[in-house]
Structures are given as C-alpha cells and as structure tokens.
Structure 1
Amino acid sequence: MLKKKITRILLLSMVLLLGGCSASHKIAYMQDVRSDVRREVATVQVTAQPGDKISIVVNSKNPELADMFNLPIMAHRIGQPMNNSYNYNQQVSSYTVDSNGNIDFPILGELHVEGLKREKIASYIKNELVRKNQVKDAVVIVEFLNMGVSVMGEVNRPGRFSIDRDYLTLLDALSMAGDLTIHGKRENVLVTRRENGTETHYRVNLCDSKSLSASPVYYLHQNDQVYVEPNDVRARQSTVNGNNVRSASFWMSLASVLATISVLIFK
C-alpha cells in the first residue's frame, strides 16, 4: 500500500516536472493570417520633427546658381598639410529643424518643415525657388540624416538603427536587430514614443496580425524605443545564484532525488 502511494507521488511529480518543461510558447508571428484574406494598410511616412537634421541639395542647369543654396562645408583632411592644392573634403551642409519646426534656408529665409514628408519638403523648396524667381529649373533632393529607432531586450543584435527609408515598420526594425531570440515575448512587445513633450507606451502582439497592423506603432517614428521582454523561461534562468526554486537546476536536482528514492524503495 505504501509503495503504491509513493509510486503515485513520484508519477505526479514527474508529470508536473515534465509539464513545466514542455510548456508551449507562442513563437510564430501573425498566427491568425489566412492566405485568402486581404487587408488594406495605410502607410505612414516619416516626417520632419524638431531636432532632426536634413540634407538639402539644389541642382540646376546653372551650377553656379544652384551653389548659392547648397552652402558647402570645407573640411580639411586630418593629417594633410595646408598648401596651395587646397586638399579638402567637401560636404553639403545639413539643416537642423529648430524648436518651432523651422529651418533657415539661404535667400528664402525661414521655412516651416515640421510634419512634412521628405518629398513634401523638396516640393515646398522647389516651389519657393520658382515663385521667387531664384531657380526656374530647380531639382531639390532632401534626405533625413539623423533619424533612428532603438531596439532593446530579447533580440539578437540590440542597438540603435538608422531610418533609411520613407517609412519603417515595427517588423522592419526587429529584422534589423536580428529578430527576436527564442526567449522574447512575441505577444507583448513594448514601444515607447515621445511626442509633444509626452511619453506614451504601446503594447503590441506580434502573433495577432489584425491588432499588429492596426497599432499606432506599426509604423515607427524617429526616436521610438522598442523593448522585447524576456519570457518566463529566460526569467527563470536569470536568478541571482541559479539555486532559486524556479530555476532549471532545481527541478533537475529534484528529479534526480525522486529517481533515487524510487530505486531505493523498489530495490
């Protein structure tokens, strides 16, 4: 009778142990997607904000006329002597959007660019040059220089990544960070966004395509911070000395003890 009770206890302990070890985790993204379903998603492009740096290049059939608006920076090469050859690197200057959302552009003066997309800024400057009879055949090229997002937590390559396109999705940013590790929580990704002096936190479920595409942070803005939380397995592995009751080593030790007791009882 005693052996039967002990056997039941051992079996129950092993079931609980194996159950804890084999707990399933949501791994696949967008698990609800079906191949016959189409969903329209409006793209949200990155726009200029205070503190951003913008490269603006004006081209024309008359280079001398265009040069009036490009303001080159003459940067002396380090380690090269100053002589008559004028050994310089030439770079086009960037414009910093001030706290009021403006840039100070040559001849045209103060231009309000906050909230404008890259092509809108180019079109705005081109129209102003033509309207004020400065450059009738102007071709304006605008690039955002210092925009980026930060990706932290359970990803393979955490860090800050530059926005090198007109729009960047959350999935794009996670891909640049090498994707989530197997220990990252896919159903509870945190995105922090600062706008107009306030900080807002959003939770995103990567396993649910509908809620993902509808999220305000599906398209990221510059300076967004993405944090992937560790799942319970990683949390258990993060104990101070590895000897916590929730650690894997504890359960392995317990299983070993139970197996030893079983052998002694039925010997």
Structure 2
Amino acid sequence: MKKIIVFAIIASLFASCIPNKDLVYLQNKGTNSSAIEVTQEASKPYRVQTNDIITISIKALDQKLVDMFNPSESGSTETSQQGLYFKGFTVDDHGNIRIPVLGELNVLGFTLDEIRQKVEKQLLDEYFKAEANIFVTVKLAGLRYTINGEIGSPGTNVLYQDRATIMEAIANSGDITITGNRKEVQIIRKFPHGFETHSIDLTDAKSMNSPYFYIQPNDYIIVKPLKQKSWGTGTTGVQTVATIVSALSLVTTAILLSKNL
C-alpha cells in the first residue's frame, strides 16, 4: 500500500507540475549559440484598414492659415483613447476619412507615409504654394488590441506607439499566468479579405521572425490554458503534494470512520 501511495505521488508530480522550459520566453531551442538572429522582413509598414483611427496634424509658417484643416481643439493636450476617438479620423467601410475643408480622402490600404504625401499634395495643389512650408504629420491613434485567456489583466488596451511587439502587449496586460500556454498563443488578425488566425510559440526565440510578432491595430490575442489547470492538482511540486496529502487524509479519515461505525 505504501509503495502504491509513493508511486501515485511521484506520478502526479511528473504529470501535473509545469516544467520551467514551458515558462521561459524566447529560448534558443536546438542551438548552443547565445546570439539570436532576427530578420527585419517581419516588420513591414502597416497599411490602414477600415475602422482604424488616425490623427492628422497640419502645420505651416502661419498657423492661422491651416487651422481650418485641423479638427477643433479644446485647448487641452488630452491623449486618452476617448479623446483620440472624437478628434481622430475613423476610416469608414469604404476606406475613406473626412478632413475639414479637404473633404473625403481614400486611405484604405495606404501606409501612414503615403497618406501624409496625399494630404500634402492636395494642400499644395489646391490651397497653398511651396513657400507656405506645409508640414503634415499622420499617425495611428495608438495600437489598440484585445487580449483574453490566461493573462494577468484581460481586456482591451492601447499602446501609444508606432510599433509594438506581442511581448510588449503581454507585459502591458500583466503577463501570462503560470497556467497559460506560452507555446500556443493565438492571434486573430483582420485583413481586407477577412480574419485570419495564427499561433505563435513565445518560448522559442525564432518567434521573433514571425510576421505576427509585431502586433497590428485591432489584433485579438488569446492565451490558452495548460492541461495542468483543468487537472486541479496544482502547478508546483509543493501544491501537488499538498493536494495529494489532503486527498489521502480524507480517504483515510473516511475509512477509519467506516470501521468505527
């Protein structure tokens, strides 16, 4: 009986404990080198899609001449998501935005730099001369993403950066819990033809070469649970032993009580 109990404890330890290799990010798997080679091909300029929010700022030597092209300002430097939503330009279902005075401008599929060039060209062609020194800035109104599953703080977050990796998004959301599956983080991404789903192994350093390592606006990230969570025996050796000991104590107590009846 003692051998059976010891065997059960050892088997449970091996089966339920989460190994360290499943918790460490960006490991050099299959190589002894400490260097990580990262290609830049995965980080391509983002092309604007429907429902994106972009901000456009137009400046000139005489700022009063271009104030009519800028959204009305309230005098504050509010950079909250709510402020950007109301002051920014939302890309409609046809891929257009409406700029004061300039009217509708199609931006679907264009990079931010291409949109800047389009706005500058229209301003110089229709309203100003080169001597006005028109200066246009086009930015995304933050990288908005939603993350759910085994994460410290699930929900929708915004990173006010031009570029951000999935590692930054996860860190900004409280990190993956100990029962989260870092080897199969799921990303649902919107494309002009629809949604695509892709999985990325964040325990492997090669994931930095993935086109999904850099997040895009409106990405939906899902962190699946490990099997150990559903087993409920604990995530560490101490927790597992405590669970087994508690179970054995209950069984022993039940047997002793039944004998006394």
Structure richer in helix, relative to its length: 2
| Structure 2 gap ranges (5+) | 76-85, 234-239, 254-261
Alignment of 1:43-58 (within 5 A): 43-58=43-58
Percent identity over paired residues = 26
What is the distance in 2 between the residues matched to 1:67 and 1:196?
Answer: 34
CA RMSD of the aligned region, Å? 3.1
Partner of 1:87: none
Q: Which has the higher contact order (CA 8 A, sep 6+)?
A: 2
What is the distance in 1 between the residues matched to 2:182 and 2:245?
Answer: 28
Change over 3 Å in CA distance of 1:56–1:47 after alignment to 2: same
What is the distance in 2 between the residues matched to 1:14 and 1:73?
Answer: 67
Deviations 1:87-146 (A, max 9, x none): xxxxx9432222221223344443221222333322321132223352531111223236
Change over 3 Å in CA distance of 1:232–1:252 after alignment to 2: farther
Partner of 2:188: 192
Q: Which one is further off, 220-229 or 155-164? A: 155-164
Match of 2:147 among 145, 151, 160: 151
Q: Tell me the CA shift for residue 191 of structure 1.
A: 1.0
Q: Residue 207 of structure 1: SS of its match in structure 2?
A: coil
Deviations 1:167-212 (A, max 9, x none): 22111111111211111111011111232352221111111121x1
Partner of 2:80: none
What is the distance in 2 between the residues matched to 1:15 and 1:109?
Answer: 71
Q: Is the contact made by 2:48 and 2:110 (CA closer than 8 Å) also made in structure 1?
A: yes
The reply on whether 1:96 has 2:96 as its aligned counterpart is: no
Match of 2:99 among 74, 93, 105: 105
What is the distance in 2 between the residues matched to 1:179 and 1:124?
Answer: 40
The reply on whether 1:221 has 2:181 as its aligned counterpart is: no
Q: Residue 72 of structure 1: SS of its match in structure 2?
A: coil
Deviations 1:19-67 (A, max 9, x none): 3354525111111164234232232343322122222221111222112
Output the amino acid matched with 1:35: S
What is the distance in 2 between the residues matched to 1:204 and 1:124?
Answer: 36
Output the amino acid matched with 1:216: P
